[in-house]
Structure 1
């Protein structure tokens, strides 16, 4: 017998919010500070789910490992200074969240974004600010792909893990959700790079736009 769905947990970047442009701008400001050429938006769109580390490692290569703390501090400073210039909700997210609320489903956010940046960004989007349970990358001692942040959110909601779905756009999201015993939904519209193989991640379902999730919610007894 399938456990009844009670809650849906979401990744943030690449799932609820399109943050690539502002993250890419922060990266290019770091590069500009050092007289280096900027990188195109397609780089940020492919790597935004990998956060500052992924973006900086792509831009600096082996040099990143020798300057990790310095470069990351510069990136985070620039990002915090212009965190919501071009960032926007993905089309359909506002309607999706309202529909889930109307259906009586609990919702939480579980992201690897640092807490300070998560809490700086969320208030710009009232639909997200209304979500009380938010677990960030440094809320606990571990982050995704470890399942504990997702389990922590479920516990905060008072919902059993197997009564939750987890929605994200990165392999670590699917790994974390599977390890937590949750049904996993891959947001294919998010930040999936051309070299990645999402078909191998073993998500239970894929969606091509946020509102596709409602079609799955309408039938919670699939195998």
Structure 2
């Protein structure tokens, strides 16, 4: 399938641009250790990483992560994560080259993530290509987050583009829902944190990629 080249590409962050699973897993491990509970492997945690602290704590604590405990457990998790959100994190293979190619083709790019601003801004300086992008919208930038389309509208505005001039690339159902609601062409990043329990065939993404550089093949 060959499509018209977009003027802008917006990306989810965790599971799409950056492989943050190892740092998130480290935080979960520390909290489980504190409570003397069995540990979860990185392989088990990786598919859940897009669901943030709540998803990971639910995986690790099971029924012990409930209305009575979740506030304290989430605070403990985020405290560990805030101390070092980047040392185990890296670009997915091909992302740096993809961003270089987008620059070369005069395609603007930006980030729309549900990750809170505190953690996003702590992470981006360690990845200069991301720190330099003109659009960054976080989970708490507005009073709504994905799957609501408003964060995508704001990111398009920051790029000086109309929503229908942008594509949205993400690895979770809420990404595809938000992109569709915003009137953007949606691309499922199948290399990201898609678990065996997910049903991506039902998400109705316009197209999908198995590795980052495949995005360029969609319009060349």
Contact 2:4 2:219 in 1 (8 A): no
Residue 205 of structure 2 aligns to a residue whose secondary structure is: coil
Q: Which runs of 5+ in 2 are unaligned?
A: none
Partner of 2:79: 77
Partner of 2:196: 194
Residue 108 of structure 1 aligns to a residue whose secondary structure is: strand
Correspondences of 1:52-91 after superposition (within 5 Å): 52-65=53-66, 66-91=68-93
Can you list the C-alpha shifts for 1:10-55, whole angstroms capped at 9, x where unaligned?
Answer: 0000000001011011001011111112101122211000011111
Q: How many residues align?
A: 217
Q: For 2:206 and 2:132, how far apart are their aligned partners in 1?
A: 28
TM-score, normalization: structure 1? Answer: 0.94
Matched, 1:25 2:26: yes
Q: For 2:158 and 2:84, how far apart are their aligned partners in 1?
A: 31
Q: For 1:30 and 1:39, how far apart are their aligned partners in 2?
A: 11
Q: For 2:216 and 2:110, how far apart are their aligned partners in 1?
A: 16
User: What is the deviation of 1:62?
Assistant: 3.2
User: What is the deviation of 1:3?
Assistant: 7.7
Partner of 2:153: 151
Contact 1:21 1:87 in 2 (8 A): yes
Can you list the C-alpha shifts for 1:71-129, whole angstroms capped at 9, x where unaligned?
Answer: 11111111111211211001111110011111111111000101000000111111111
Q: For 1:60 and 1:155, how far apart are their aligned partners in 2?
A: 40
Partner of 1:221: none
Q: For 2:214 and 2:203, how far apart are their aligned partners in 1?
A: 19
Partner of 2:14: 13
Matched, 1:93 2:92: no
TM-score, normalization: structure 2? Answer: 0.95
Q: Which runs of 5+ in 1 are unaligned?
A: 219-223
Deviates more, 1:21-30 or 1:34-43: 34-43
Can you list the C-alpha shifts for 1:189-222, whole angstroms capped at 9, x where unaligned?
Answer: 000111111111100111010000001132xxxx
Q: CA RMSD in A?
A: 1.3
Residue 62 of structure 1 aligns to a residue whose secondary structure is: helix
Partner of 2:119: 117
